[in-house]
């Protein structure tokens, strides 16, 4: 396993991380626990969750799975998206974040987080309030590092400027949607991260399964995320992205690898990428993703992947999550 610094921080993270939004929903506790343990045994040390995944079940299951193994992982969770119907059950106010942090720590059975991420930009709360709250959490020893998710480039740069001006803890990472099928972050966010030393943590690196080739010709495999989640299935109507998945699968076949492994290997070589969030609902799926570590893409293959995915630098983002 390869380990990289998370941005310009000294924190080392595995280049392949474990995404857990299926834990407690599409993967039951027993299966999820096996996935966590197999990930750790395979060298993965970065585990990503959020306070809203599977209605908090993801955090609870991870907490149980990490009993006796907490010290082996870089554990991160998020808060900021809509948690409930109350007026203070969303956003990144001091009120909401402090309560959500304490609840997450209890579910995760730990007294600290290695990385605490704001799940999306909050236009209704001053950034000064959010960043001061996060700085207090770091000073209290409950959080080691802080990161952002779903921030636009200008929002992230504004936050970095405020942190520098006020002497507050600084975001070390940002988590955007990023893959061969969505390269929109390369226009502004990636150059910013390179300039400011921010680590990129891509989510949806396989575009919800499109880049595995399993949705070719309009197929919807039984048990897939599109099959289980009608809202997610709406993302799969883009014929151009489906066609890209077929192209990647064809190239990968010629190289002797799976389309998933090639897609992840391409992303691992993109500038500023620290670790990639890859979910799994079965141990076998995790094992397939781990094959990307051993994929070696030559210059011609990289150029082909760049060319076929270039239209998605200027396309509509595959996914982004914002407060209503």
Report the residue count for the chain.
324
Return the pLDDT at 235.
Answer: 65
Return the pLDDT at 221.
Answer: 57
Q: Provide the mean pLDDT of the chain.
A: 95
Using alpha carbons, select from 291, 301, 300 the residue that is nearest to residue 260: 291
Return the pLDDT at 228.
Answer: 63
- Confidence band, pLDDT 50/70/90 cuts, at residue 315: very high
Return the pLDDT at 80.
Answer: 98
Return the pLDDT at 214.
Answer: 76
259-268 vs 299-309: helix axis angle to the nearest 10? Answer: 90
Coarse DSSP helix, strand, coil percentages of the chain, rounded to the nearest 5 percent: 50, 15, 35
Structural domains in the chain, CATH included, are 3-212+264-298 (3.20.20.100)
User: The tokens 């799926």 sit on which residue?
Assistant: 285
Catalytic residue positions?
53
Q: What is the pLDDT of residues 191-250, one digit of tens each?
A: 999 999 999 999 999 999 999 987 776 556 555 565 566 666 666 777 899 999 999 999
Question: Is the per-residue pLDDT at 75 higher than 70?
Answer: yes
Return the pLDDT at 117.
Answer: 98
Q: What is the pLDDT of residues 82-135, one digit of tens each?
A: 999 999 999 999 999 999 999 999 999 999 999 999 999 999 999 999 999 999
Q: What is the pLDDT of residues 37-56, one digit of tens each?
A: 999 999 999 999 999 999 99
Q: What is the mean pLDDT of residues 18-31?
A: 97
DSSP per-residue letters across 156-198: HHHHHHHHHHHT---EEEEE-B-BTTB-GGGTTHHHHHHHHTP
Return the pLDDT at 215.
Answer: 76
- Confidence band, pLDDT 50/70/90 cuts, at residue 5: very high
Return the pLDDT at 213.
Answer: 84
Q: What is the pLDDT of residues 262-306, one digit of tens each?
A: 999 999 999 999 999 999 999 999 999 999 999 999 999 999 999
3 state SS of 17 = strand
Is 204 within 8 Å of 318 (Cβ atoms)? yes
Percent of the chain predicted with pLDDT > 70: 93
Is 241 within 8 Å of 308 (Cβ atoms)? no
């Amino acid at each position: 396993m390869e380990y990289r610094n998370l941005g310009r921080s000294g924190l080392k993270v595995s280049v392949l991380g474990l995404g857990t939004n299926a834990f407690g929903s599409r993967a039951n506790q027993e299966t999820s626990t096996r996935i966590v343990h197999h990930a750790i045994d395979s060298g993965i040390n970065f585990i990503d969750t959020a306070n809203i995944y599977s209605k908090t079940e993801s955090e609870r299951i991870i907490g149980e799975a990490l009993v006796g193994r907490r010290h082996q992982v870089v554990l991160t969770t998020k808060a900021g998206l809509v948690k409930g119907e109350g007026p203070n059950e969303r956003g990144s106010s001091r009120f909401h974040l402090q309560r959500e942090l304490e609840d997450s720590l209890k579910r995760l059975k730990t007294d600290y987080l290695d990385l605490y991420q704001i799940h999306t930009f909050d236009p209704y709360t001053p950034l000064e309030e959010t960043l001061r709250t996060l700085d207090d959490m770091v000073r209290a020893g409950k959080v080691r590092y802080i990161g952002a998710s779903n921030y636009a480039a200008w929002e992230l740069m504004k936050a970095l400027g405020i942190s520098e001006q006020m002497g507050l803890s600084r975001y070390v990472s940002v988590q955007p949607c990023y893959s061969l099928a969505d390269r929109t972050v390369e226009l502004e966010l990636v150059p910013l991260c390179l300039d400011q030393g921010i680590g990129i943590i891509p989510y949806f690196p396989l575009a919800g399964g499109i880049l595995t080739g399993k949705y070719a010709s309009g197929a919807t495999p039984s048990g897939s995320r599109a099959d289980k989640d009608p809202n997610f299935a709406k993302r799969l109507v883009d014929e151009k992205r489906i066609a890209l998945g077929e192209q990647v699968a064809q190239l990968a076949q010629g190289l002797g690898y799976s389309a998933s492994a090639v897609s992840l290997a391409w992303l691992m070589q993109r500038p500023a990428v620290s670790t990639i969030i890859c979910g799994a609902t079965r141990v076998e799926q995790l094992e397939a993703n781990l094959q990307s570590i051993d994929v070696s893409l030559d210059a011609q293959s990289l150029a082909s992947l760049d060319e076929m995915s270039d239209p998605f630098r200027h396309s509509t983002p595959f996914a982004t999550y914002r407060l209503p």
